[in-house]
């Protein structure tokens, strides 16, 4: 599989010092065993990777199983956010972050989504699920959930992590 890098941004007049947040996955070129998932029509409140994550959590309990992979939202629309440059002030609450800083958009399929999720946090303060998406038609951002539960279609491939590394305040 050949991959490319994509950069999405909202133009601004302000200068940026260039900060970022990411989950990275490294994999060998050899074929690995993986998990294939295809789903359509969301019936609950959880998004696609969260449903898989909760299934892993139920099955494995307090054993940390981490999956990473790519899924495509083939049909439907999704709510994504884009972060403007990091602010110089601290926010007092998640609500303040969501209302005053993040910019939310509804974006259309197809969306290619890179996702990582964990069944259990063994004390590393993991973000339990994190997904970023992009498209060939110019949409990109952090995935929250689909907004078209009756028509959405997902297809994805995931592989299990052998190790997890967490870097803080790099």
Residue 77 inside a domain? The answer is yes
Q: Is the pLDDT of residue 148 over 90?
A: yes
**pLDDT band with cut points at 50, 70 and 90 for residue 91:** confident
Give domain status of residue 18, yes or no: no
28 inside domain: no
Residues 6+ apart with CB under 8 A from 168: none
CA nearest to 167, candidates 118, 132, 116, 126: 126
What mean pLDDT comes out for the span 134-139? 92
- Mean pLDDT for 116-121 is 96
78, pLDDT greater than 80? yes
Residue 53 lies in a domain: yes
Let me know if residue 1 belongs to a domain: no
Q: Domain for residue 96, yes or no?
A: yes
- Tens of pLDDT, residue by residue over 3-17, are 566 555 555 555 444
**How many domains is the chain built from?**
1
Predicted confidence (pLDDT) at residue 19 exceeds the cutoff of 50: no
What's the number of CA atoms in the CB half-sphere (13 Å) around residue 152?
23
Give one DSSP letter per residue of 84-131, joined into a string: -SPPSS--SSHHHHHHHT-EEEEEESPEEEEEEEES---SS---SEEE
CATH number of the domain to which 136 belongs:
3.30.1330.80
**Percentage above 90 pLDDT, the chain:** 59
Is 33 a member of any domain?
A: no
> What is the pLDDT, as a whole number, of residue 9?
56
pTM over 0.85: no
The predicted pLDDT at position 7 comes to 59
Query: What mean pLDDT is predicted for residues 75-95?
Result: 85
Residue 84 lies in domain: 49-160
When pLDDT is averaged across residues 33-48 and rounded to a whole number, the result is 95
């Amino acid at each position: 599989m050949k991959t490319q890098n994509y950069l999405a941004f909202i133009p601004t007049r302000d200068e940026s010092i260039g900060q970022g947040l990411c989950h990275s996955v490294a994999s060998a070129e050899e074929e690995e065993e993986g998990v294939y998932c295809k789903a359509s029509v969301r019936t609950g409140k959880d998004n696609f990777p969260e449903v898989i994550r909760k299934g892993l959590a139920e099955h494995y309990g307090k054993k940390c199983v981490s999956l990473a992979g790519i899924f495509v939202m083939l049909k439907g629309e999704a709510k994504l956010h884009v972060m403007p440059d990091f602010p110089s002030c601290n926010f007092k609450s998640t609500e303040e972050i969501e209302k005053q800083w993040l910019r939310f958009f509804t974006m259309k399929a197809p969306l290619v989504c890179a996702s990582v999720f964990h069944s259990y946090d063994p004390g590393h303060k993991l973000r339990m699920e994190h997904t970023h998406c992009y498209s060939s038609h110019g949409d990109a951002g952090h995935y929250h959930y689909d907004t078209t539960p009756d028509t959405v279609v997902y297809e994805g491939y995931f592989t299990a992590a052998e190790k997890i590394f967490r870097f803080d305040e790099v």
